[in-house]
Amino acid sequence: MDNAHSPTVPAVEDDAAPPGFRLIDFRRDRVEVTFNTHIGNLWAKRGEKGTADEFVMGLRVRDKHCNPAGTLHGGMMMTMADLIGGMGAGTLAGIRKFLPTVSMTFDFVAPARAGDWVEGRCEVVRATRSLLFSHIYLTVGAEKILRASAICKIPSGDGPSFGKAKLVDRPE
């Protein structure tokens, strides 16, 4: 019997994340395992405001992220880009609430392989009162592997409370 569907808390692996990256703790103290935890680990690095590195998400590609060809599954790339379109672009735009995705376009320009370190960055194209337009790139080293364009809704008021993820230095 494989354990792939088991909803137990996944063990945090040593992803050998590059310096500056901290683990995104989506769980906080909740018991249930949500999608973001289940597919992890996801890492983040915060850089100087206004630079391309202001928000960087990182992923060490594991077998569980791959397709039968042994390359990073498009679904995993889309998941990472979707998260960056909300969390990353929201951070850059100074919006601290849950931003539901309205529309996304993904261009799969190159594969990534198990063991690769993938980074994701975004650019805010425009934030209106109700919509956030962003571009997202996933890269391995200097090579782009995914280009995405996202539109997120900015809910009026506070929106639903989302239990914000926090960055932790090392998994407990």
Partner 1 sequence: MAVPDGFVEVAGLSGFALANGPWYERERDDVMVRGFRAEARHANTLGIVHGGMLAAFLDSAMGMAVWRGLGRRSVSLRLTFDYLLPVRVGDWIEATAEVVASDGTLAQARGRLRGPRHEVLTAAGNFALLKPDRPPRAGQAR
Q: Which residues bind partner 1 (CB under 8 A)?
A: 2, 4-5, 7, 26, 30, 32-36, 38-39, 63-69, 73-76, 78-83, 98, 100-108, 160, 162-163
Q: Return the HEC string of the chain.
A: CCCCCCCCCCCCCCCCCCCCCEEEECCCCCCCCCHHHHCCCCEEEECCCCCCCCEEEEEECCHHHECCCCEECHHHHHHHHHHHHHHHHHHHHCCCCCCCEEEEEEEECCCCECCCEEEEEEEEEEECCCEEEEEEEEEECCEEEEEEEEEEECCCCCCCCCCCCEEECCCC
Query: Whose Cβ is closer to partner 1: residue 47's or residue 144's?
Result: 144
The nearest distance, CB 127 to partner 1, in angstroms, is 18
Q: How far is CA 155 from the centre of its chain?
A: 20
The nearest distance, CB 149 to partner 1, in angstroms, is 9
Query: Whose Cβ is closer to partner 1: residue 50's or residue 68's?
Result: 68
Query: Whose Cβ is closer to partner 1: residue 98's or residue 137's?
Result: 98
The nearest distance, CB 35 to partner 1, in angstroms, is 4
The nearest distance, CB 133 to partner 1, in angstroms, is 15
The nearest distance, CB 77 to partner 1, in angstroms, is 9
Query: Whose Cβ is closer to partner 1: residue 69's or residue 142's?
Result: 69
Query: Whose Cβ is closer to partner 1: residue 20's or residue 42's?
Result: 42
